[in-house]
Amino acid sequence: MDLSGADILDGGKAVRLRWSNGSAARFHAIWLRDNALDEATRDPGNGQRLISLADIPRDVAVERAEVGDASCTIGFSGGHETVFPSDWLFDKSYDRPDETRIWPEEVNLWQNGHAVHGDDLKSLRSDDRARRDWLAAVARDGVATVSGLEATSGSLEDVVRLFGHIRETNYGRWFEVRSEVNPSNLAYTNLGLQAHTDNPYRDPVPGLQILACLENTVEGGESAVVDGFAAAETLRREDPEGFEVLAAHPARFEYAGSSGVRLSAKRPIIERGPDGEVLAIRFNNRSMAAVTGVPFDAMDRWYAALRRLGEIIDAPASQVSFRLAPGEAFIVDNTRVLHARTAFSSSGSRWLQGCYADKDGLLSTLAALEAT
């Protein structure tokens, strides 16, 4: 977007820039100096900032603002001069009315009927565009599937290698999901598991989970996923106060199922950032500890809202179900999408392996692919 003019405001403390589409935005002198893109301010190689705030005078002012060809030259008090591309300034505008966004802009909320994006491991490895689209689906929908894995132990690492590194935990580099005698976790039984996010007792929680199937000849044992953001949005529309109470007070989660491990985290069911945007959902009844962070007067309300959120999550209208075959896997954004399984028979075998990875690595690989 081309600039059409610039006005110095308030003795140079700010500038109003006007664009050719009729829009305008104000920028502070301190912001412009701190974010200058020139070689004296940012390393031209790695883009990292070379100056600290202490290097900028407290009373820095704009003395000159000149609109040129797709750019704006700013001259500061003290003599520093820098040039900003107009598109860059347009993209970085922060002068807009206060608006509270509840859900991140890039996410697509979904319910039953959502077609989960899937691709074949071979194509994801060899075709950058296919890999980009698959990673974009994880970022947008919080879930995607992969087929064509070797049905051998550890093949789920091939999925993680598409974008990053395994996050090792007390469960190991990966963990086995099959029936065990004296299981250390209810996941290792043939019981059905209510939709949940994994490891809410970790801080931070693993951002991604991959579950890969090696054997599945049992009756039952279907997998299901639920968009926790969509479920929370349903709650918010039905009962804004209920949404608020789950976001405003911390729950507590614990795990001490194996010796030498006592994990605990105090975090809300619905976690928001400082701007009010939801960052994560934690929902795992098996791991919830006695909650003491909700005030007495709010506890009834908190339980009622949690019960309702659970009903929304359990409703068939929220769930997308599928049956994993050997060589198939799915990935979920564990800060958002819940996973479940139905109970299965004790005859036949069901063997899945699961592992965790970090979401920032996936988003980084996606951004790099998008930039090429």
Q: Which is nearer to Fe ion, 147 or 194 (CB)?
A: 194
According to DSSP, the residues that pair with 331 across neighbouring strands are 144, 210
Q: Which amino acid is at 141?
A: D
Q: Rounded to an integer, what distance in angstroms lies between the CA atom of residue 22 and that of residue 24?
A: 7
Question: Do 247 and 270 form a contact (C-beta atoms < 8 A)?
Answer: yes
Residue the block writes with tokens 């000159």: 64
Shortest separation between residue 282's beta carbon and Fe ion, angstroms: 12
Closest CA to 19 of 93, 84, 90: 90
Q: Which is nearer to Fe ion, 242 or 354 (CB)?
A: 354
Shortest separation between residue 170's beta carbon and Fe ion, angstroms: 14
Q: Which is nearer to Fe ion, 60 or 166 (CB)?
A: 166
CB within 8 Å of 273: residues ≥ 6 apart: 279
Shortest separation between residue 76's beta carbon and Fe ion, angstroms: 54
Shortest separation between residue 196's beta carbon and Fe ion, angstroms: 6
- Quick one: DSSP state of residue 69? T
Report how far Cα 36 is from the mean position of its chain's Cα atoms.
29
Q: Which is nearer to Fe ion, 41 or 194 (CB)?
A: 194
Question: Do 76 and 68 form a contact (C-beta atoms < 8 A)?
Answer: no
Shortest separation between residue 323's beta carbon and Fe ion, angstroms: 17
Q: Which is nearer to Fe ion, 123 or 185 (CB)?
A: 185
Interface ranges with Fe ion (CB under 5 A)? 198
* Count of C-beta atoms within a 10 Å radius of residue 334: 28
Residue nearest to Fe ion (CB): 198
Q: Which is nearer to Fe ion, 155 or 209 (CB)?
A: 209
Shortest separation between residue 185's beta carbon and Fe ion, angstroms: 9
Distances, alpha carbon 115 to alpha carbons 47, 110, 137, 322, in Å: 39, 9, 11, 11
